[in-house]
Amino acid sequence: MTLFFASANANKVRELQQIFPASYELKSLLDLTEVPDIPETAATFSGNALLKVNYLSEHYNVLGFADDSGLEVDALHGAPGVYSARYAGEHGNASANIEKLLRELQHESNRAARFVTVIALKLPNGIHYFEGEIRGTITTEIRGSEGFGYDPVFVPEGHNQTFAEMSKEEKNAISHRGRAVRKLLDFLEQRALH
């Protein structure tokens, strides 16, 4: 079964390809001749995932899903949230985003946070949503070279390594995106769609 993932983020695409079983062919916006820039203008993760999956089906008429993910920090009242990828201004500048986050938390003792992913799957019978979350804490410095985004400053609950210090397999087993994707896969298996 071929499924399209409405993302042009090569890191996310690789991560999902590692989680999906071989019975699926997972394609992304990077497989299209012209990579679209889909605006993420909604105020929620589910709203942005819906915008992306609707764009995918309207413009390309393919079966697919989209995700929107972000980091919510308790001391920052849930920020950066849906603005996680463009927290410091420029979209996708992870080091600037991390610098801004650490700066804003430098005098903060409460460093609790959570990563959230919402996946929207569009089928002929409607939209289906799958959520994944993991709680943890924000470190005071960058640690590790794996992963992407805020991974070098996020230590998941029950662990002492940041996501960026873990192997891809370790991260995928517990991450917010891994949890949401497994719910999506369980749903697809039950539907026997492939």
Catalytic residues: 68
- The CA-to-CA distance between both ends of the chain, in Å, stands at 5
The closest of 138, 41, 146 to 98, measured between CA atoms, is 138
Residue 149's nearest CA partner among 174, 126, 171, 124 is 171
What is the rounded distance in angstroms from the CA atom of residue 76 to the CA atom of residue 153? 15
Three-state SS annotation for 18-55: HHCCCCCEEEEHHHCCCCCCCCCCCCCHHHHHHHHHHH
In contact, 35 and 29? CB cutoff 8 Å: yes
> What are the E-state strand segments in the chain?
2-5, 25-28, 64-73, 112-123, 126-138, 154-156
Sign of the C-alpha dihedral computed for residues 191, 12, 127 and 136 taken in this order: positive
